[in-house]
Amino acid sequence: MSKTDIHSFLTRTLFRDEIETEWTPRFRGSSLPVCPRQLMLGKFMDKPLKKKLPFVADYHMSVGHAIHDLVQKRWARQGILWGDWKCRRLECGVFAKNKIMTRCPVCNDYLLYQEKVVHDEESGFNGHCDGVVWVEELKGFVVCELKTRNSNIIKKFSNERPYESDRYQLAMYSYLIERDFWLPIAGRMIVWIGKPRPEPFLEWFYPGNGKKLYDEQVRLKMQGDKMLAEKKPLEVYGRCKEPEDVGSCPFGGICMSPKKDDLIMDMWQQWNNKI
Ligand code: SF4
Ligand SMILES: [Zn+2]
């Protein structure tokens, strides 16, 4: 095999390869702000939707996961991280919930942090919170939403607000953590850590538990469910106001089509015939 062959082998099997991932629109942290219409259309599908994942997108996601692990490890070792834990040695059998911990009480090794799963029964909301950290200066817990962003983006944003999706995600988690675990929440923070270098970083802090944003999202979701139950699919509203907003829509920005009502009614009828 020549050098050129190896090069094209790598290009073909890694850098140009796309893997297919499946997903279903759900009311979860990673798809906020909620689009009740997208959730409804997701219900009409009998199979999960498919999405192509190119190497570069997978690469950025993996870097993001690694940075989450790193931040959680550093806070865990300082004894300021609250949540669930397990020991990496299965024979210890240590699983602990809802507390600040650092080392395994059996083997004394450092414990692994398990992101807190939050859930709301009534609305069906689900999510994983990046971390709940004790901030001595505030004498309280702060719920953290961590994002890795390209350094150039961080420089551009230094005087601005974070993304709307970050704010909603954080508010949903902080409110549910306070509600379900009775933890005194002093505030919530969004932290953007740079790529490829960690600094500059940005943070936004908000006092309180985020209940207002939580209530707004849950109300929209439940209203959508109600309209669908009443067989009024055209009254299940979508979140997009501008054509630019539709990039992340798995239905190809359907609501920007002048035929959207017909398309929605068609999908609804097909779904109705099946159930
Ligand atoms: S186009 Fe926008 S409003 Fe319509 S379903 Fe997609 S995300 Fe929702
Ligand atoms: Zn152990």
- Which pLDDT value is given to residue 243? 61
Which structural domain range is residue 161 located in?
3-78+115-222
pTM for the complete prediction?
0.91
Residues of the chain with pLDDT under 70: 1, 243-247
Residue 251 lies in a domain: no
31-48 in b/e burial notation, b at 16+ Cβ within 10 A?
Answer: bbebbbbbbbbbbbeeee
Which residue has its alpha carbon closest to ligand 1 atom 5?
38
Residue 232 lies in a domain: no
Give the total number of structural domains in the chain.
Answer: 1
- Which pLDDT value is given to residue 250? 85
Q: Ligand 1 centroid to 65 CA: how many Å?
A: 28
**Shortest-distance atom of ligand 1 to CA 35:** 8
Residue 150 lies in a domain: yes
Ligand (nearest to CA of 224): 1
**Shortest-distance atom of ligand 1 to CA 260:** 4
- Which pLDDT value is given to residue 2? 76
Residue 71 lies in a domain: yes
Distance between CA atoms of residues 222 and 160, nearest Å: 31
Residue 201 lies in a domain: yes
**Shortest-distance atom of ligand 1 to CA 248:** 7
Residue 231 lies in a domain: no
Which residue has its alpha carbon closest to ligand 1 atom 2?
240
Mutation test residue for ligand 1: of 37, 44, 165, 244, the one with most atoms within 8 Å of CB: 37
- Which pLDDT value is given to residue 274? 80
Question: Residues 36-81: pLDDT tens digits?
Answer: 999 999 999 989 998 899 999 999 999 999 999 999 999 999 999 9
- Which pLDDT value is given to residue 249? 84
Residue 31 lies in a domain: yes
Mutation test residue for ligand 1: of 32, 237, 251, the one with most atoms within 8 Å of CB: 251
Q: Ligand 1 centroid to 234 CA: how many Å?
A: 13
CATH of the domain at 169: 3.90.320
Mutation test residue for ligand 1: of 41, 236, 239, 263, the one with most atoms within 8 Å of CB: 239
Question: Residues 122-143: pLDDT tens digits?
Answer: 999 999 999 999 999 999 999 9
